[in-house]
Amino acid sequence: MDWQLVESDEALRQVLEAGAGSEAVIVDTEFMRRNTFYPQVALVQLCFAGSGSVSDTAWLIDPLGLEDTAPLADLLVDPNVVKVLHSASEDLEVFQNWLGVLPQPLFDTQRAAALLERGFGLGYRALVQAICDVDLPKGETRSDWLQRPLTESQCEYAAMDVTWLLPVWRELDAQCEREGKREWVLGDGRDAMGTLGTAVSAYHKRIKTAWKLNPRELGALAAICDWREQTARLRDRPRSWIIDDKACIQLAQQDPLNWSELKSAVDLPPPALRRYGEQLLELLAAQRQVPEADLPPPLPAPLDARQRDLVKKLKAQVRDIAQQQGTAPEVLVQSKDYELLLREASGEDVTVPEHWHGWRSDVVIGPLRQWLAGADQ
């Protein structure tokens, strides 16, 4: 296995120039995210698919040694070069926060394996084992990637993350071509761009008990979650380090008027109380002034027994479609889609997810809508 460290702007420029014209580039990242909101990029690995002098070599790009990252960003958005990643969601977040771009077109090998009925949610090592019959070592999974210099063991581990993905991609891409599923994979890559960084104003809907709140309380919870999101990003700290979900709910329900009520009604650690107490009281005071007409509607309650039975029947329909299409059922429909389909069929105003469009519209979403139209609602 051949790998080379790239530790300067000039070295990066030379590598990217030599790799120009490649049909695809294998991409991976190493990053750290222990006590921060944003991932801290520590290494970017590239392996070009082509016939040039840089092909089949793992290029380990050290971001700590770069000042000019524009050439790398240009490669990631080059529409003529397919970017191949495995389970890309975290890598996408790295690139979005570090470079302000997202790799396109994107071929996610984990997604491709599921669409080709090779298994849903396969990890990198399992996929390499299945396709290349190679058992990769776990090695440096818990390594400190921000330390310098990197050890030879770290570099070899990082290189394997792209060099073995190259033959994996070649086989999966060829099978996608035979089965007419390449656009399915690339379409899912485009959809991933749309869902990344979804508006933080919707975070309150992720809190499980939020559906129990009345409109006034729900409006307060949304404002609190928005404030926490902005604070976490500004301070680059995990959300729970600001205040946790339990405290958010307590603030919305108890609506403390002063310091005494805040301390007694809400479980806030003393440091958070000192740092954020005044801001939270001001935020809640502002929410009390919001007119009733501007408050959000209550969130829908969890599905009842009849609706849960319909979900089971929908899943049976999806399994049949998956068998016909030669794909894993889990990759056709996400778990949250079933509830959304039911609410749409009952006449509720729902926001249609991006991934319901494209190839899924004809293959699975349309047939499920038709089945629901004929089912006993």
205 alpha carbon, distance to own chain's centre: 17
Catalytic residue among 91, 191, 245, 339: 91
- Any residues with CB less than 8 A from the CB of 75 and at least 6 apart, and which? 16, 19, 25, 81
Rounded-to-integer distance, Cα 228 and Cα 206, Å: 14
Burial 14-37 (b: 16+ CB within 10 A, else e): ebbebbeebebbbbbbbbeeeeeb
Task: Tell me the pairing of strands 24-32 and 82-85.
Answer: parallel
Rounded-to-integer distance, Cα 23 and Cα 316, Å: 39
- If we measure between CA atoms, which residue out of 128, 116, 126, 127 comes closest to residue 184? 116
Confirm whether 236 is a catalytic residue. no
Rounded-to-integer distance, Cα 366 and Cα 117, Å: 21
Task: Tell me the pairing of strands 58-61 and 3-6.
Answer: parallel
Alpha carbons within 13 A on the beta-carbon side of 218: 19
221 alpha carbon, distance to own chain's centre: 24
Confirm whether 191 is a catalytic residue. no
Catalytic residue among 108, 140, 161, 173: 161
Confirm whether 255 is a catalytic residue. no
The DSSP letter of residue 258 is S
Catalytic residue among 7, 62, 140, 157: 157
Catalytic residue among 30, 173, 245, 339: 30
Rounded-to-integer distance, Cα 146 and Cα 143, Å: 9
Confirm whether 28 is a catalytic residue. yes
Confirm whether 30 is a catalytic residue. yes
Phi, psi at 55, each rounded to 5°: -65, 150
Question: Active-site residues: which are they?
Answer: 28, 30, 91, 157, 161
